[in-house]
Chains A and B, each alone.
Chain A
Amino acid sequence: MISKFSTIQELKELLEKKQVTKEEIVSFYQNQVQTLNPKFNAVIELFEKPEEELDSNKMENDFLKNIPTLFKDNFAIRNQTCSAGSNILKNYKPVFDSTMKKRICRSGGIILGRTNMDEFAMGSSGEFSAYGPTKNPWDETRTPGGSSSGSAAAVAAGMVPWALGSETGGSVRQPSSFCGLVGMYPTYGLLSRFGMIAFGSSLDQPGPITRTVFDCATVLSSLAGHDSHDSTSLPEAKRDYAKNLDGNFDSNLKIGVINDSIESEGVDDEVKKQFENSIKILKNRGVKIEYIDLPDLQYAISVYFVISRAEASSNLYRIDGSLFGQRDEKATSLEQMYQATRSLGFGKEVKRRILTGNYLLSSSHKSIYNKATQVRSMIRCEFEDAYERVDLLMSPTVPTLPFKLKQEVNDPLAMYMADYFTVPNCVAGYPAISVPCGLSQNNLPVGIQFIGPRLSEQKLLKTAYAFEQEIQLNLKKEN
């Protein structure tokens, strides 16, 4: 039987045993969206007809055969609206497919609709969406995190077995952690950005949000691999990332605990407690733990800030009402049209980031941008040095429990600090996976993350899988 918390793995097994048909699965989850979404506002649109590849000659593999999903609203699907959670693209219908859409459909996946998100993926709480805030299925007074707010909430509520998100500095892992799910930021360049609306191009990566590590590996197998449409796509061969998940930790595995995780005052006590418990579990299984000081990581927030804003202001410059999207028709000059279109179409946080980006890129301040790129390489060096001593690093995914709605939006600096643990590896381009590790006293999910060297996805998944088996938490939440 399908349950609303079925995993991809379970659904594939049911399909294989012919205990359920594709049609039953699709209508089951469509129904779930219709029933549950009014409560959580996770889904912006349920497509009239789901997106799938009907030409069997175009099929490439069956990693996601007959498995429904939802797409974050910033991936292009031909002839479907793609608004990036913004008014300015409210009616924008791309004339092409993103590589992620093609890969999923050519693995047999079925896209049911698109999910809510912070406008242009800028935000950590989902509250900067033009479609209103999304609620956390674990506690409706709290946010599901962001910017992949709708994707995480939809999976946590049981509307789909998995959903696609995108991450620039934590936008997949943070909501996954807040919603008791698994989320991954792959090595920069492992997944193609073609057709994904850009925020910070040197940081952006698509990322899967799933219930289990095994499912994360399955989705990654479908998504990864070189794409000639993205010049930053790495020449990686396709592989089955779920193949060597056996529940064992590598012998002699050594994990470095980032000292800030425990020492920093900014880490909530409940998070600390679950994190320390996770260390204990790993030690009990024979994993060697070393505590590591990585002092340069404290600059990652500033570096991320400078680079992501600079790139965002450049990327969003093209959105001006002339070639696509909304246009303010009253304007009589071109300049007026640009200004009126952008002023009406962009929300407050997006404007704030465009202004900051242009400030940082203006000639009188460019020294700080150049400095940020240097410190970025310094941070990468510090990671490299650490990986000479340990195989992987670990920390809490987010320093706090899920925010209350409206708690963070009024204090931008506090909101940006919530990315403290997720930003450094993005700045360096290194992969990380967030896994649920326990619940707080009032039943809110807490996540930890493993961070690995470049292209260490297989090791990360193997370790996270073994950890997940050990934790054996039933993080399935009844609504």
Chain B
Amino acid sequence: MDLKQKELENLAKMSNLNLDEKEKESFAKDLGSVIQYIQEIEDLQIKRKVEAVRNKNVFREDKAKQNNSKEILENSPKSDESYFIVPKILKQ
């Protein structure tokens, strides 16, 4: 059972990925077979449950910590003194 072409294209869009035709074909097949495999858990009767994570939420004091924003900005593909620069998102 291959994944439908339209569904895969929608997934690619949600994932911010451009796929070429070859990738589309191979992913539709791979995803289809794997998704079929995991259906086995869908109809399982759950007998008993224990909490998945036993950790308690951890809070810290609401205090500002020193950060190295200058370094972080310099480490980005494009920035000026205090901003990350990305292509324009607002139309004029």
Contact = CB atoms under 8 A, between A and B. Distances in A.
B50 A380 contact: yes
Nearest to A326: B77
Interface residues of B, number: 49
B77 A231 contact: no
B52 A333 contact: no
A381 B49 contact: yes
Given A325-B77, A327-B77, A374-B46, A354 B40 contact: no
Nearest to B39: A368
A227 B11 CA distance: 37
B34 A305 contact: yes
B87 to A, nearest CB: 5
A187 to B, nearest CB: 11
B64 interface: no
Given A202-B53, A332-B87, A333-B89, A324 B47 contact: no
Contact of B27 (A323, A335, A355): A355
Contacts of B47: 378, 381
Given A334-B89, A351-B27, A356-B31, A322 B84 contact: yes
Contacts of B68: 95-96
B42 A322 contact: no
B92 interface: no
Given A358-B15, A368-B38, A324 B75 contact: yes
| A202, A234, A302, A305 — most chain B CB neighbours (10 Å) | A302
A81 B34 CA distance: 34
Contacts of A337: 86-87
Given A232-B55, A368-B41, 7 more contacts: A95-B75, A299-B44, A305-B37, A374-B49, A377-B50, A378-B49, A380-B50
Interface of B: 3, 7-8, 11-12, 14-19, 23, 27, 30-31, 33-35, 37-42, 44, 46-53, 55, 57-58, 60, 68, 71-72, 75-78, 84, 86-89
Closest 8 CB pairs of A and B: A327-B77, A231-B58, A302-B38, A343-B18, A95-B71, A338-B16, A377-B49, A374-B46
29 contacts: A93-B75, A228-B58, A228-B60, A231-B57, A231-B58, A232-B53, A302-B37, A313-B15, A320-B16, A321-B77, A322-B77, A324-B72, A329-B77, A334-B87, A337-B86, A337-B87, A338-B16, A340-B18, A343-B19, A352-B27, A355-B31, A367-B42, A372-B41, A375-B44, A377-B46, A378-B46, A381-B47, A412-B33, A413-B34
